[in-house]
Amino acid sequence: MCSPTKALVADDVEIVRRILAHIDAGTTDEGPSWREPVENYVNPSRFTEELRLLRSMPSVFVPSAAIPNPGDHVERTAFGVPLFAVRGRDRRARVFRNACRHRGFALVEDAGCSHALVCRYHGWTYRLDGSLAHVPHDDAFPDLDKSARGLVEVASSEVDGLIVIGALDSPHPGHDEAMGWLGDGTPWRDKLLPASRLAYVDSSVRALNWKVLVEQFLEGYHIRWTHKDTFYPVQYDDLNVVEIFGPNCRITFPYRNIERLRDRPEDTWTTDARVTYLYQLFPNVMLATFPDLMLMVVIDPVDVDHSTTTIYSMVDPRKADAAEGGWRDPGPYNPAGAASFIARGAVEDNEMSAGVQRGLHAGANEFVEFGRHESAIGHFHATLDNRLARLLGVEGRQPHR
């Protein structure tokens, strides 16, 4: 998969060097351009093929911070499949299909903490490891083998602050390789693990194709025009460092205060509070670092024109507890809060994505154009296109050089 002696992403010093060089030269990282057919956004048959692919690949399910203690559980519908994660008494995180083995009622309906998982329809009760513990009036089920009627588990592993699931349907030919790239958390470990306290979760359905939503995270070419009163005063327009590791990538969005490092010794350089790192973990998860919090954003396709966006906001408990008066109110860490700086920028991004979604149906374009300064989007589409081609047994496309 990769050389064990070579880091998958650059360290802070190298990132600062590259950013300062771009500032001085008026440049940014460049890569291959890409043209994505409009048909691939609006065709329901294409969406069905994509959903089939997504169910055959590994993906990030939830952050570990969502279930820190034994009995903690949280649900999410991933690629149309209701699932939940629970931390057992052995502190192991497990993921199950969210259905009671009696009548299929959704066992977990919200986040919470329980000593056991009890179906509120008929009271069938499961231990935290998924085994069936109790059936009321079990004499009514003379042929029931409790040992064989535990919850249906989904293969999963916990990797450096993330709970990663395997295929939900028949595995894709490249499943194991893809799992390997999600199984090495070195690119995000130092940024995510300190943010071990879940502060806020927000979920909403948006009238957008899932790929349009993913795209809004993957370039800084729009900063000046979309975020002129929010991000642009503190960030640079069209200045990014783009790093590819397997199907995933990391995009660095520098803040203007990074120039204060110019006169300081390199061995003191740090990117803390001087950049936002955006990790795109294929296919549908973004991790974003900010000075006081870490966001995990999950884009779940619903249909060709709708997606569910779930945002997990996490904080470093040491920093939060050290703050004046301690940290109690999740409001300041709620990226969906109306007063939040991050939220105002997110509203602007979503407005642009809604405009793109409308434009896809205007009949003006045969394809969507992504330039050399938007290469992370091209990488995302090329990865999706080629994995879909392998699933369907056809030849995939390559980016334009």
Residue 169 covered by a domain: no
pTM of the model: 0.93
Q: Are residues 212 and 68 in the same domain?
A: no
The pLDDT assigned to 319 comes to 77
Higher pLDDT: 292 or 378? It is 378
- pLDDT (tens digit per residue) in 213-261: 999 999 999 999 999 999 999 999 999 999 999 999 999 999 999 999 9
Q: Are residues 64 and 124 in the same domain?
A: yes
The pLDDT assigned to 3 comes to 43
- pLDDT (tens digit per residue) in 141-196: 999 999 999 999 999 999 999 999 999 999 999 999 999 999 999 999 999 999 99
CB 11 within 8 A of CB 250: no
Mean pLDDT on 281-289: 98
Q: Are residues 244 and 383 in the same domain?
A: yes
> φ and ψ at 349, to 5 degrees?
-60, -45
* Class of residue 88 by CB neighbours under 10 A (exposed 0-12, middle 13-18, buried 19+): middle
CATH number of the domain where residue 359 is located: 3.90.380.10
Residue 342 covered by a domain: yes
pLDDT at 333 exceeding the cut of 80: no
- pLDDT (tens digit per residue) in 24-75: 999 999 999 999 999 999 999 999 999 999 999 999 999 999 999 999 999 9
CA distance linking residue 252 with residue 273, whole number of Å: 12
Give the residue from 157, 176, 211 where a domain finishes: 157
* Class of residue 275 by CB neighbours under 10 A (exposed 0-12, middle 13-18, buried 19+): buried
pLDDT at 330 exceeding the cut of 60: no
The pLDDT assigned to 320 comes to 72
Average pLDDT, the chain: 93
Range(s) of the domain holding residue 275 = 12-57+193-392
